[in-house]
Chains A and B, each alone.
Chain A
């Protein structure tokens, strides 16, 4: 009975430490998106590299695809760019680029300079499609399944770890179903 006096506060303290520890490990900039598990917001936008042609989310139905939000002004997009190039070369899944709040000329020049990992890029000049997709920190990457539902969202640049552990296994699994 006496030992309970010490064990109870100690247990409470350890629980508090555990909560604070988990809180410290989390990145507060990663706000969980309410869109994961919901149908991808529709867009119908002009393509960056084929002027006059458009691309809509309806055109992409029936296949698993990635949406990568990027911009020529975005510094961390350069960090993930080599990985996206590798992903494009592996030809595993089509990556659609959303050139977010960018001058189309700058976007085209950026792709010409660094290489184009995107099957198609579309122009979101005023960022309205970005708002519909809940974009708040470029780059962002979404995994969309065959029925057009968002299954995963990566905030910030994709990493080797996030590609190998989350995105690629998820894409493979979704492609099978």
Chain B
């Protein structure tokens, strides 16, 4: 009799353990994609601008619209849309301004390459100045060293005396 009870008890224990393990696995399975999704959403939201606060990302903003847009982004992500499709969805409604990383196109060409152009222009000016200075310095010192006394006298005469 006792052995029968022991068997039943062991059986129940095993059953409970099995159930707990299955449940745990199911919970872990349900949470794993959720964690991945959350990480993806977090990254995506930090690349998008909140239209209301303008200097905050969608992830950081407490504005009601940011909450709505986060909900919308999540819905689209769960529906299987790619990051690009989600961004396109927002750009179609709010313009490139929602992207913290503006796309390279004719309109943003100056924004992307303007600084480089300025750098080249500045470099060109600097190079021209340096070259001119080097030339005039070389010319000046050679002239000073080599000028014979009569040339210096003539130059002084030209400079200080009335013709």
Contact = CB atoms under 8 A, between A and B. Distances in A.
Interface of A: 28-29, 31-35, 101, 126-128, 131-134, 136-137
B40 to A, nearest CB: 20
Interface of A is mostly: loop
Given A31-B94, A35-B93, A131 B72 contact: yes
B64 A131 contact: no
A132 B93 contact: yes
B52 interface: yes
Contacts of B91: 34
Interface of B: 51-52, 54, 64-65, 68-69, 72, 91-97
A131 B72 CA distance: 9
Nearest to A29: B54
A133 B72 CA distance: 14
Contacts of B95: 31-34, 134
Contacts of A126: 68
Contacts of A32: 95
B68 A137 contact: no
A76 to B, nearest CB: 14
30 contacts: A29-B54, A31-B51, A31-B94, A31-B95, A32-B95, A33-B95, A34-B91, A34-B93, A34-B94, A34-B95, A34-B96, A35-B93, A101-B68, A126-B68, A127-B65, A127-B68, A128-B68, A128-B72, A131-B68, A131-B69, A131-B72, A131-B93, A133-B93, A134-B93, A134-B95, A136-B51, A136-B52, A136-B65, A136-B94, A137-B51
